Amino acid sequence: MLSSTSRNVLKRVSQRPSAHTYSPDAPWTGPACRHHFHRQLSSAAPPANHDSTLRAKPWAFVPDNAFKGTTSVLGRCQYEAISHAKAKRRLVPCLRLVAQMKKEGVQPSLVIYNSLLACIAEEALPLEAWAVVDDMTAMGLTPVRQSYHHLIHACRWSSINSMWKVVDKMLELNIQPNEQTYALIMKRMTTTESVELALQFMHEMTSRGLTPELITAQDVVRLAADLDFPRLAVNLAQNFEAQSLRRFDGEAWMSCLISSAEMLYAEGVEICWKKVIHGLNLSPDEGACLSVLHTCARHGLADLAIDVKQVLRKIGIEWQEYHFTPLMEAFCRAGRIKDAFNTLNVMRNDGIVPTSKTASSIAELLQKDVDFVDGAWGALDEMRREGKTVETTAINAILHASITLGDLQRAIGAYQSFPDYDCKPDVETFNYLLAGCTAAKRRELGDKLLQDMKQAAVKPNASTYEHVILLCLTCSPYEDAFFYLEELKAQKLVPPLKVYEMIIRTCITAGDSRYTLALTELGQCGYQLSRDLQQFLKEHDITCIPLGGRS
């Protein structure tokens, strides 16, 4: 090609017209257009210069006959076979290629056989793969480690004994397994969720001085996390990254975080949260954040709970009551009662009305000891000095704890302190106090509380009527209990089963026949008699089982 080009150049140079000296008197015989004029000037021979050392002729190059030489038939077949092996679902074209080679009498090489094995392994055909290996041996070719890797891959959907057969054959031929061999074996283990065998082979790799592939290690970690072994998953991930420069992706660490949160594994949650949120800069979904919040609530991880709340706002989730409840519990378990009270203010500022259930964790903390109750008052006083609003729910929590501790006098003191904190009692306040009066059998105090309730224009609910009726039944006469029962039904509220059972017990003990009316209404409400009440009726020779199915 280069020699022919040189000849063409010489031909064009020899045909170029000689240069002319321009004379204004001479007639113009040049090209008629400017384009042809420039072409003529560019093709004109340069003036002779005897002092120049430049060549006037083109350079002659020696052709390189070794450049991209002729490809043999076997080489072409090997290239095509490798292309089939790298692609997906190319077994049929690869078989056609092998058939054409046989037809043309081309003996296959190791590359051809391994490419065919790769296509067969992709289709998961172990019998056909073994047949190819036997054919290799018959042709005088020794299978290499890659050949047996294809065999292991072909056995991935067969019984596990078929895979052990391949491994035993490798050891018989003194072919030691490497990282890829173990990767194929452990891929089978993770697919079948055999985490114990996967760990066994990881230990075997370590004893041989081999390091698992990154994808293999991630699969084992994700399997342990999915099987609710968060401690194992986190330890495996930490050990791998400590011994290797490679790092797990976000999916593996997120699996560890979710598993640790669901199993309430505090240490794993702290490690994975720091890695996922602050290390990899990933954003979990609301479900994962809620699970982390529950773990924080269980173990008192208040700072982590605050961080989770900020992440919820970052991902566009509006704060709800069920987000604040575990946060308050985390504060309480950490002994940060003032922060728990401040959380109630944050809820109010966000338009969320705190309830007694929201502050139940505060009440549970204060119920442990009277000293905690005194400490809570100190926190409220400090908030008042700082100019912060004190929620009614906060005082109700202290009041509830006092009632649970059996200190009615302390509860009354909390009730009288509402004006000092610019708060007003609500229906929950009176319900707690009436429950304390019932436990102490203080009917006159209960009547006083009912009057205060009417003056404060607080509407009673079903729990209020329940406490009032039970309070009336604690002393004689108990006629007011039936009055409040009718008032409860007039409000179109269903009386609780506990009210009917207490009326029945009181009437039977006092010889009041109105227990039959209570039994009838109990059945009409759809309740069933409890075992204790049935035993009580049996002891008094009364057999009356009401209709209904509510319990």
Give 118-156 pLDDT, tens digit per residue. 888 888 899 999 999 998 898 888 999 999 999 999 998
In which band, very low, low, confident or very high, does the pLDDT at 67 lie, cut at 50, 70 and 90? low
* Beta strand ranges found along 392-550 (DSSP E): none
Give 151-188 pLDDT, tens digit per residue. 999 998 888 899 999 999 999 999 999 999 999 999 99
- Mean local confidence (pLDDT), 85-90: 74
In which band, very low, low, confident or very high, does the pLDDT at 541 lie, cut at 50, 70 and 90? confident
| Residue 138 within a domain | yes
Global confidence as pTM: 0.77
| Residue 508 within a domain | yes
Residue among 383, 411, 385 nearest 396 (CA):
411
Residue among 250, 309, 238 nearest 276 (CA):
250
Q: How many domains does the chain have?
A: 2
Burial class (CB in 10 A: 0-12, 13-18, 19+), 500: buried
Whole-angstrom distance, CA of residue 548 vs CA of residue 551: 9
Rg (CA), the chain: 45
Least trusted range by pLDDT, from 227-231, 275-279, 487-491: 487-491
| Residue 163 within a domain | yes
In which band, very low, low, confident or very high, does the pLDDT at 17 lie, cut at 50, 70 and 90? very low
Question: Hey, which residues does 550 pair with through a beta bridge?
Answer: 527
| Residue 322 within a domain | no
In which band, very low, low, confident or very high, does the pLDDT at 300 lie, cut at 50, 70 and 90? very high
Predicted local distance difference test score (pLDDT) of residue 116: 87
Got the DSSP string for 300-320? T-HHHHHHHHHHHHHTTPPP-
Cα separations (Å) of 132 from 122, 461, 520? 14, 82, 85
In percent, how much of the chain has pLDDT > 90? 64
Domain boundary among 124, 156, 176: 176
Predicted local distance difference test score (pLDDT) of residue 55: 57
Other CB atoms within a 10 A radius of the CB of residue 108 amount to 22
Predicted local distance difference test score (pLDDT) of residue 267: 97
Other CB atoms within a 10 A radius of the CB of residue 323 amount to 22
Whole-angstrom distance, CA of residue 205 vs CA of residue 211: 7
Domain boundary among 144, 176, 208: 176
Got the DSSP string for 500-543? HHHHHHHHHHHT-TTHHHHHHHHHHTTB---HHHHHHHHHTT--
Predicted local distance difference test score (pLDDT) of residue 2: 39
Residue 439 clears pLDDT 90, i.e. is over it:
yes
Query: Can you give the residue range of the structural domain that contains 519?
Result: 496-551
In which band, very low, low, confident or very high, does the pLDDT at 21 lie, cut at 50, 70 and 90? very low
| Residue 503 within a domain | yes
- Mean local confidence (pLDDT), 203-220: 94
Whole-angstrom distance, CA of residue 285 vs CA of residue 68: 57
Give 304-345 pLDDT, tens digit per residue. 999 999 999 999 999 999 999 999 999 999 999 999 999 999
| Residue 64 within a domain | no
Domain boundary among 124, 151, 176: 176
| Residue 255 within a domain | no
Predicted local distance difference test score (pLDDT) of residue 544: 59
| Residue 361 within a domain | no
